[in-house]
Homo-oligomer: A and B are copies of this chain.
Amino acid sequence: MTAPGSDLPPEEFRRLAHEVSDWIADYLRDVADLPVYPSVEPGALRRSLPAAPPDAGESLDDALSDFRDLVVPGLTHWNHPAFFGYFAITGSAPGILGEMLSAGLNVNAMVWRSSPAATELEEVVTDWLRQLLGLPAPFDGVINDTASSSSLYALAAAREVAYPDAHRAGLFGQRQGRVYLSEQAHSSIEKAVVTLGLGSAGCRRIATDAAFVMRPDALDEAVASDVERGVRPVAVVATLGTTSTASMDPVREIADVARAHGLWLHVDAAYGGPAAIVPELRPLLEGWEAADSIVVNPHKWLFTPVDCSVLYCRRSEDLVRAFSVVPEYLSSTETGEVRDLMNYGVPLGRRFRALKLWFVLRFFGRRGIVERLRAHVAWARELAGWVEEAPGWQLAAPASLSTIAFRCLPSASWAPDSEADARRQDELNLSVMRRVNASGRAFLTHTVLRERVALRLSVGNLRTTRDHVRDTWALLREAADAERAR
């Protein structure tokens, strides 16, 4: 028995780490047999655990047993091959191995000397990814937890440029500022703008066209009218791969408008960015190299376990100016080519996230990534074709990348002519989604487009095959038939 307050002896750790490794290997092999979405009531896990922490230490064998028996049945399995919700993702084997090592090392890459190799590996892998994406050399990458944070930091740099005295004096007494984003932009952009003190009124939503992409002419008009009213344009956010429909904003035209008005251009390519690695998809991102900042999330469509979001800045000194607050206890005593990555964002503490991304890029290589992303897009487009051809179904947006938005209709000849009809259609779609999710055989999420519910199916998991997409399409049709018959 270990003395209270001692860590597990190394040989006991070894035994349990092997047990955990086997559990993960079995899990990855068998996850398709689990219900992708759990049938649990809210509060179920909370009620099954002791209300108070243990006084004496417990055995980890018991903790692992509770993990298997109580926790796992209450999880939504993002690693399931028929997980098609949100943006489907995968924690690939190389990424998991990288996370295991990072956890074992527990180093902190806040400043260079707090772990030199962790800082330098982050420089190397973000530069490798930049090359894969075809972005020019001035773009300098840093790894954050999520796109929400990356966009917050990018917009903080934009604020710094628009209000050169903001770092010192704040926004008090300044002219109102505005960030432009399409009505399809992600909620994290509004959250960032609010966090930065510009308020939700600091967001101006730009209309999109029939394909849900931002209209550059509407952007230009909005900026011009703001300037006329004395509002200061701060930034425009273009999205490459919107959450609802994976639509791709026309970055080149948006960049022209941004340049004409002196706006910072931030590109939210958290999901869509990796498409640039695939030669025939790269044209969809044309013009993004003109951005001031770009966010791409390897933890989305690039097989890296959460969290791993890369923020690229064309002039990273703008980012550093926004965030550099260096007290003596963190000052560098080295000279030469060292970077202290704490100066590129809010968090001081920084996990060794570069390791997993390095393993992922080495294991798959450019070719592996291209082949898999290409397959995902092909299956999603094939599904879009099936939806288009099926009576009583329609695409809610043009197919783009690996995420499809669509609707089922109450009947094949459906022609809604009232709000009640429209509500009936919305309810049908939500019911179909709930029925599919309750089956445990696939998991989808929904959105709203032009005020009407649409279902989303996002392909992004390494274990997903064409059969999983085809089976889920069959499941959707069965669910729709059953719901229509109710």
The answer, yes or no, to whether A474 is at the interface (CB within 8 Å) is no
- Mask, A138-155, CB within 8 Å of B = 1, is 000000011111001000
Min CB distance A29 to B, Å, is: 4
The answer, yes or no, to whether A200 is at the interface (CB within 8 Å) is yes
Tell me which residues across on chain B come within 8 A of A337, comparing CB atoms: 42-43
Whether B369 pairs with A5 at a CB distance below 8 angstroms is yes
- Mask, A160-190, CB within 8 Å of B = 1, is 0000011111111111110000000011101
Min CB distance A150 to B, Å, is: 10
CB-CB under 8 A for A112 and B148, given A93-B13, A117-B71, A365-B57: no
Min CB distance A330 to B, Å, is: 7
Tell me which residues across on chain B come within 8 A of A56, comparing CB atoms: 365-368
**A243 nearest CB neighbor, chain B only:** B329
Whether A6 pairs with B462 at a CB distance below 8 angstroms is yes
Whether A14 pairs with B4 at a CB distance below 8 angstroms is no
Tell me which residues across on chain B come within 8 A of A149, comparing CB atoms: 346-347
The answer, yes or no, to whether A446 is at the interface (CB within 8 Å) is yes
Min CB distance A349 to B, Å, is: 4
Residues of chain A at interface, number, CB under 8 A: 182
The answer, yes or no, to whether A363 is at the interface (CB within 8 Å) is yes
The answer, yes or no, to whether A124 is at the interface (CB within 8 Å) is yes
Judged by DSSP, the binding face of A is helix
Contact of A45 among B120, B201, B348 (CB under 8 A): B120
Tell me which residues across on chain B come within 8 A of A419, comparing CB atoms: none
The answer, yes or no, to whether A195 is at the interface (CB within 8 Å) is yes
Stretch at the interface among A250-258, A287-295, A301-309: A301-309
Whether B52 pairs with A21 at a CB distance below 8 angstroms is no
The answer, yes or no, to whether A202 is at the interface (CB within 8 Å) is yes
The answer, yes or no, to whether A222 is at the interface (CB within 8 Å) is no
Tell me which residues across on chain B come within 8 A of A172, comparing CB atoms: 171-177, 198-199
Whether A75 pairs with B29 at a CB distance below 8 angstroms is no
Whether B364 pairs with A112 at a CB distance below 8 angstroms is no
Tell me which residues across on chain B come within 8 A of A192, comparing CB atoms: 346
Min CB distance A248 to B, Å, is: 17
A-B contact pairs, 13 of them (CB 8 A): A4-B364, A5-B369, A17-B24, A27-B104, A51-B127, A79-B106, A85-B114, A148-B347, A170-B199, A171-B171, A173-B173, A190-B325, A307-B351
